[in-house]
Amino acid sequence: MIALNEGKELVKIARTSILNYFRSKGTDTKEFPERYGVFVTINSYPEKELRGCIGFPYAVMPLGKAVIESAVSATFNDSRFQPLKREEINKIIIEISVLTEMEEIKTSKEKIPEQIKIGKDGLVCKYKSFSGLLLPQVATENKMNSKEFLECVCMKASLPKDAWKNPDCKIYKFQAQIFSEKSPEGSVEEKS
């Protein structure tokens, strides 16, 4: 999908949009006109603890614009965290996850865990007006098996952990290409 040099540019666009927000200046780009779902994750450095994560699960706008909006929202509008302060800008690392399209897991409920590849698949749980999403790296970073990952995405959707067994609950999987800074304004690597 995205080459490493393009991933580096996406991370640069995200960091620039955060810096421009501090300067009360908007960011715009004509680069990356293709539409992809994307999430921007902000982690503290060097601790690598979550500091914000927001994105667009579906390809609703050009990738460059989606990265700009997600970076600003993850940094300043994630309700789980205090907005970033200017003096913290060199104490964060940025991670971009470019998503594939969602694919519903259509199998008997008891076989759903077998259809999930830990470290490769992210999950979405949908039931009535409830919805939750977990990126693929969440399972590996938290050493989850596929059943635990399913339970966690149900809880992310504010549902009971076994909601995935409900016949009306839909589970989708997707993959992500992940580009991450090794250090603030440092080199960028593609994570597998």
Here the CATH number for the domain that contains residue 23 is: 3.30.700.20
The pLDDT score that the predictor gives to residue 80 is 95
Shared domain for 15 and 107, answered yes or no, is no
Tokens 């994560």, residue? 53
The pLDDT score that the predictor gives to residue 118 is 97
Shared domain for 119 and 163, answered yes or no, is yes
Shared domain for 118 and 41, answered yes or no, is no
Prediction pTM value: 0.94
Whole-angstrom CA distances from 42 to 93, 121, 178 are 6, 21, 13
Shared domain for 10 and 92, answered yes or no, is yes
The pLDDT score that the predictor gives to residue 186 is 83
What are the residues whose beta carbons fall under 8 Å from the beta carbon of 5, sequence distance 6 or more? Answer: none
Structural domain including 162 reads 103-174
CA 49, CA 20: separation in Å to the nearest integer?
24
* Total number of domains in the chain: 2
Shared domain for 89 and 183, answered yes or no, is yes
Shared domain for 44 and 139, answered yes or no, is no
Q: For residue range 161-188, what is the model confidence (pLDDT) as tens digits?
A: 999 999 999 999 999 999 999 999 789 9
Shared domain for 9 and 64, answered yes or no, is yes
The pLDDT score that the predictor gives to residue 1 is 81
Shared domain for 136 and 170, answered yes or no, is yes
Contact predicate 15/74, CB 8 Å? no
